[in-house]
Every structure is written in structure tokens, then in C-alpha cells.
Amino acid sequence: MIIVTGGAGFIGSCIVAALQEAGKKDLVVVDYLGTDEKWKNIAKRELAACVHPDDFDTYLEKHKGEVEAIIHMGAISSTTETDADLINRSNFVLSWKLWEYCRDNKCSFIYASSAATYGDGELGFSDCDTQEHLNALRPLNCYGWSKAVFDRKVARERDEKRPTPPQYAGLKFFNVYGPNEYHKGSMKSVIAHIFPIAKANEEVKLFKSYHPDYKDGWQLRDFVWVGDIVNVIMWLLENPHVSGLFNIGAGEARSFYDLAASTFRALGLEPKIGYKDMPESLRPKYQYYTKADISKLRELGFTTPMTPLEEGVRRYVQDYLNTPDPYM
């Protein structure tokens, strides 16, 4: 049995799809489905169970000895959420409870960290997992803090030689885009936001820059195709000797202008791009540059190439967004 928390969400549902396509049986999704169309993310999947989070403790207790791996994608992922108690319960307390379960029941534990742990990037984007390095990071928001504090807890457990799950892997996701993110509202990728505007052949407006080193629209991000995230997780499951904290990005910094232009071109249109003011509340916390250092993952044997931005955007637009059925 493989359990995917947040399994009806964006990245989680793509992981579930890949697991099913790989012939894995007894797949269990744990998630809130709510009253929107999030359920469509898993409508094509064959599941052993879809468990409400309130029933998760009981489900785990009942199925002790059957769980091979828990892939923990469930989290409060909004970078603008201000309820720190809610974030702590969801992103730290639950994660630690699942760590203990996997430790005690000899299951692999793969969990979502985040590039938000790097803050403004002043210390770089190395996935070094020494306590000294992790303690020095200063996330810019509560979401990033919650992921950073869990990474530090894992590092202490390892360094103090306390028992751990047989395999554990924290994945620092950069700017992920791809199908099944449609329920995420304001947290959808820029591509999903601008697609209907670009399809109508109207002008897309990107944020102006408030940093002298970056032109309007030329703020840089490591944009990573969700299929590359899935490839890493599948590789980890096939290599249970690999544990640690890993960046998952394309390893390349590209501009929002590049992203928007690629969206137009995937539709066979010439880019129409303008600029708008950034909300004042975002300006002090805005990252102008991210780029994943994925050398550690490469050194451990993950050799699959990452998808270039233009190819990932083309796939997303032509194979999903611009079709009658945009779901994976």
C-alpha cells in the first residue's frame, strides 16, 4: 500500500496517476475534497481508498504492517496564509506524526519541503542539510518557516542518531506548473492564470519590478514541470537506500516574460505582454531570483533530464489547458 496525502491536490494527484500507470496497486489518497471540482483530479484513478483527513489516524492504525510508503504532499501551501497555528498544525505537527509512524512501521517517508525555506536567496539555493546551514535560512513567510522548521527537526534526529524511517526524503519544490492545479485559486501557476487571456489574444499583465537589478517582468524563477517532480519521486521509490533533503527544480532561472511568451507561442500567437503594479503587501516578501542546485540529486544517480521551459509550457497548454479534458 502506498499512501499519498494531499493526493487529490495538484502534485499529489499527478503522483497518484504515475503510480497507477506504473502498475502500483492499493493506492490510498488522503485529502479534503471540498465542494469544488477538486475530485476531478482523481476521477480517472483506481484507488483502494479515499480517506478524509479526520479519519486518517484510524485508517493508519487499522492498516499497520500494510503500508510500504507515505508520500506526504498535504499541507497549507498558501504563502499568504496568516493563521500560524493552522499552518503549524498542518505542516509541522502532522508531518512529525507521519514521520513517527513511518519510523515505527518501517515505511518510506517522502515529504514536501519548499524552496520558500530559502527566503530572499541571500544564502543561495543549496540543498545542504547540515544543521548549521538549515538554521541560517530565513524564510519570508509563515509557510516557508513551517517547512524549514521540519527540515531542521529531521536533521537533528539524524545527527543525534535517533531512529529514522528506513528511507526519508524531503523535497524542496521550486515553482511547479502543470495539470490538475485548477482548484488552487490565487496559488495556481502563472501559466494557468494567463492562459485564458492569451487564448483570447489579449494583453497579459505581469508584475512590475521594484528591484533595480531586474526589469519589469524579468524577475527570475526556477519553473519546473510537474512531470519532473513525479520522475524524482518514482526514482526515490525505486532506490530506497537514498535519503536526505533535495532540491527539485529545473536547475535554470527563467523570467516571467519567458513564461508568458511561451504560453502565447504554444497557442501559435505572438506575445502581448504589459505590466501592472505589485500589491504593496507582497513587495517586502517578494523573491526576485530562484534557481535550484540539483547537483546532489545528480550525484546520487538521478539522471533523467529536466524538461526545458518551452517544452513544459507547450505540453501544458496543448495537451491539457487547450483541450476539453484538462485533467491528468
> Where residue 5 falls among pLDDT bands split at 50, 70, 90?
very high
Q: Is 170 left (phi over 0), alpha (psi -120 to 50) or beta?
A: beta
- pLDDT mean across residues, the chain: 95
In the predicted model, what is the mean pLDDT of residues 2-10?
97
* pLDDT beyond 90 at 120: no
CA 276 to chain centre: 27
Could you give all domains of the chain from N- to C-terminal order, each with its CATH number?
2-176+224-251+292-306 (3.40.50.720), 177-223+252-291+307-328 (3.90.25.10)
> Where residue 284 falls among pLDDT bands split at 50, 70, 90?
confident
Tens-place pLDDT, residues 182-235: 999 888 999 999 999 999 999 999 999 999 999 999 999 999 999 999 999 999
Structure-block grid coordinates of residue 16? 497518484
24, 184, 272, 296: the active-site residue: 184
Which pLDDT score is estimated for 282? 85
The pTM for the full model equals 0.95
In the predicted model, what is the mean pLDDT of residues 13-40?
96
DSSP 202-234: --EEEEPP-STTS-TT--EE-EEEHHHHHHHHH
153 and 93 Cβ atoms separated by less than 8 Å: no
> Where residue 76 falls among pLDDT bands split at 50, 70, 90?
confident
Cα–Cα distance for residue pair 303/91, rounded to 1 Å: 30
* pLDDT beyond 80 at 79: no
Which pLDDT score is estimated for 7? 97
Write the single-letter amino acid at 136. Answer: A
> Where residue 307 falls among pLDDT bands split at 50, 70, 90?
very high
> Where residue 80 falls among pLDDT bands split at 50, 70, 90?
confident
> Where residue 286 falls among pLDDT bands split at 50, 70, 90?
confident
> Where residue 308 falls among pLDDT bands split at 50, 70, 90?
very high
Cβ-based burial of 76 (10 A; exposed 0-12, middle 13-18, buried ≥19): middle
In the predicted model, what is the mean pLDDT of residues 124-153?
95
Which pLDDT score is estimated for 182? 96
Which pLDDT score is estimated for 328? 92
| Partners of 119 in the β-ladder | none
Cα–Cα distance for residue pair 213/219, rounded to 1 Å: 9
Q: Does the active-site annotation cover 205?
A: no
Residue in 283, 177, 153, 309 with CA at minimum distance from that of residue 230: 177
pLDDT above 70: percentage of residues in the chain: 100
Residue in 232, 211, 210 with CA at minimum distance from that of residue 292: 232
Which pLDDT score is estimated for 65? 93
Which pLDDT score is estimated for 214? 96
101, 111, 118, 143: the active-site residue: 143
Q: In this structure, what are the phi and psi dihedrals at residue 244, rounded to the nearest 5 degrees? A: 140, -170
Q: Does the active-site annotation cover 161?
A: no
> Where residue 77 falls among pLDDT bands split at 50, 70, 90?
confident
Tens-place pLDDT, residues 241-267: 999 999 999 999 999 999 999 999 999
Q: Starting from the edge strand earliest in sequence, which strands make up the sheet with 2-5, in order? A: 49-51, 27-30, 2-5, 69-72, 108-112, 167-173, 244-248
Cα–Cα distance for residue pair 306/242, rounded to 1 Å: 20
